[in-house]
Amino acid sequence: MVIRTVQTRSRTELVDITGEVEAARREIGLADGLLAVYVPHTTAGVTINEGADPAVRRDVMEVLNHVVPWDFDYRHMEGNSPAHVKATLTGASVHVLVEGGRLLLGTWQRVFLCEFDGPRNRKIWVKGLGA
pLDDT at 80: 94
- Are the beta carbons of 68 and 85 closer than 8 angstroms? yes
* pTM of the full structure: 0.96
26 contacts 107 by C-beta, under 8 angstroms: no
* Ranges in the chain, pLDDT < 70: 131
Residues with Cβ within 8 Å of 31's Cβ and at least 6 positions away in sequence, in order, are 98, 100, 101
- The domain locations on the chain are 2-130
Q: 75: Cβ–Cβ under 8 A, 6 or more apart, which residues?
A: 81
3-state secondary structure of 95: strand
Percent of the chain whose predicted confidence (pLDDT) is above 70:
99
The CATH-assigned architecture of domain 2-130 is: Sandwich (2.60)
Q: Mean pLDDT for the chain? A: 97
pLDDT of residue 77: 83
